[in-house]
Amino acid sequence: MHVAFFLLLGGALARFLLRHPGEARTPWVIGLSVVLALLYAVPSAGAVRVHREPFGREGRPGGTTGRPTVPGLGWLAVVVAVWVVLVLLAPSFAWCAVPLFYTGLRMLPARAALVLVVVLTVFVVAAQLRLAGGFDPNLLLAPPAVAAIAAAVFLQMERQSVRQRALIDDLIRTRRELAASERRAGTLSERQRLSMEIHDTLAQGLSSQQMLLQAADRVWESDPGKARVHVRTAEAVTEHNLDEARRFVHDLAPADLARGGGLDQALRALAARESGERLAVRVHVDDDGGRTPQLPERVRSTLLRIAQGALANVREHSGARTATLTLTLLDDQVVLDVADDGRGFAPGELPVSAPAARGHGVPAMRARASRLGGTLTIESAPGEGAVLSTAIPLEPPR
C-alpha cells in the first residue's frame, strides 16, 4: 500500500507537470507533493504504533474499536489536509486517496474511519468531475464503488484477523491448561508409584524388622540362642532393605531381580526371606517352555511387587502357617497365584479403591496389575484361607 501511494503520487505529479508547465501554481504543487511524500514516508512515532483493539475483548465479536494517540491523529490530519490542498490545486492527485483509505481504516475507530472515507470520496468525485469538465455518471459512481470495496475488504480481513487472534489465544490457553493438567496427572501418578514402591519395599522391611526384634526381646532372657537367630534374621532383612533403598533411589529394578536371576529365582529368594517359624512359603513355577527369563522387565517387577505385598498381608493379617507362590506361563498371559491356609475373609469387605490417606494393600496391587492391562482377583471365605490371582497379558510367542 505504501508503494502504491508513492506511485500514485509520482504519476499525478508527472501528469500535472506535463499538462501544466510554467503555471503559477506549479511550485506550490511540487512543494506540497514533496511535503506529502515526506509526511507519508516518515510518520510520527505515535502514528506507527496506533492499532485498533477487537470488540471481542469486550464481548462484541467481529468488530473493532479505536484508541488512536494524539500524535497519530495529528499526523493523519496533516496528511489529509495537505492532500486536500493538492486536490484543490490539481485534481489529478485525487486517486492518492485509496492508500489514505486504508491508513484511516487502520488507525481510526470503525465509524470515524468510515466518515473519513466518505469525505475523501467526495473530494475524489469532485476532482474527477472537474477534470472531465462536465457531468459524467461513471465518474460520479465509480469512486464511491471503489471506496466501498476497499473499506469492505479491509473490514472483512480485519474481522477474520480478530477471529484468528481469538482462536490462537484460545489454542494457546488450551494448550497451557492441557500441559498443566498433564503435569498434575503425572505428578499424582508418580506420587502413587513412589507410595506403592515405599510400601512394598521399605515399609514391609521395617515391619519385618520390628516383628523380629520384638520376638528377640521376648525370649532374650529365656532363650538367648533363639533371640540371636531373630536378631541375625532382622540384620539380613535390614541389609536387603538397604539394598532396596539404594536401588529405589536410582529407580532401578527390585533388588531380587537386579542380582541377575529371573523372576522364578526372585520369588524363591522372597519366599526364603518371608519364611520363618510361624510361616512357611513355597514356590512352584509352571513353565514348560522355559520363557520365565524372557519376561519383560516391567512384568517381572510388577509380579514380584505384588507377591511381596500379598505375602506381607498373609504374614500380618491371615494367621496362616503356609503360603504358596505359583507362577504359571501360558501362551498369552502369565499368572501369579498366592495361596494361604489362614483364617480367610469375605472379599466383598475389601475396598475397591485405595483410601485417600493410604493407597496401599490390595488396591495398590490391583493398580499395579491394571497398569499392564492385567487383572487381580481374590477368592476367599472365612476359615478357608485365600487365593490372590494376578493375570497379565503377554504377546503370543512367535
In a domain, 17, yes or no: yes
29: left (phi over 0), alpha (psi -120 to 50) or beta: alpha
Which single residue is written with the C-alpha cell 515405599? Answer: 198
Q: Which of 68, 102, 135 is the last residue of a domain?
A: 135
Grid coordinates belonging to 160: 477474520
Q: Which of 100, 135, 170 is the last residue of a domain?
A: 135
In a domain, 97, yes or no: yes
In tens digits, what is the pLDDT along the chain, a chain of 398 residues? Answer: 788 888 988 888 888 888 887 788 888 888 998 998 888 887 644 444 444 444 444 444 444 444 566 677 788 888 888 888 888 888 888 888 888 887 877 777 777 878 888 888 887 888 777 776 667 777 677 778 877 887 788 888 888 888 898 899 999 999 888 888 887 887 787 677 777 767 767 777 788 788 888 888 888 888 888 888 888 888 887 877 777 777 666 555 566 676 666 888 889 988 888 887 788 999 999 887 777 888 888 898 889 889 988 988 888 888 899 999 999 998 889 999 999 998 888 876 664 443 333 335 788 888 889 989 999 999 988 888 899 999 999 875 44
Burial of residue 207 (CB within 10 Å: 0-12, 13-18, 19+) is middle
pLDDT at position 51 is: 45
In a domain, 40, yes or no: yes
Q: Which of 120, 135, 150 is the last residue of a domain?
A: 135
Grid coordinates belonging to 360: 496401599
Grid coordinates belonging to 179: 500441559
pLDDT at position 46 is: 42
Model pTM score: 0.45
The count of structural domains within the chain is: 2
Domain with 350, as residue range(s), is 276-398
Grid coordinates belonging to 246: 539404594
Q: Are 318 and 353 in contact (CB under 8 A)?
A: no
279: left (phi over 0), alpha (psi -120 to 50) or beta: beta
For 293-331, b where at least 16 C-beta lie within 10 A, e where not — what string?
Answer: eebeeebbbbbbbbbbbbbbbbbeebebeebbbbbebee
Greatest distance between any 2 Cα atoms in the chain: 134
In a domain, 103, yes or no: yes
In a domain, 129, yes or no: yes
Enumerate long-range contacts of 126-131, CB under 8 Å, 24 or more apart.
Answer: 126/91, 127/87, 127/91, 127/92, 127/93, 127/94, 128/91, 128/94, 130/91, 131/91, 131/92
pLDDT at position 367 is: 86
d(CA 68, CA 71): 8
In a domain, 154, yes or no: no
Query: CATH number, domain at 391?
Result: 3.30.565.10
pLDDT at position 77 is: 84
In a domain, 222, yes or no: no
Distance of CA 149 to the CA centre of its chain: 43
In a domain, 183, yes or no: no
Grid coordinates belonging to 224: 538367648
pLDDT at position 69 is: 65
pLDDT at position 258 is: 66
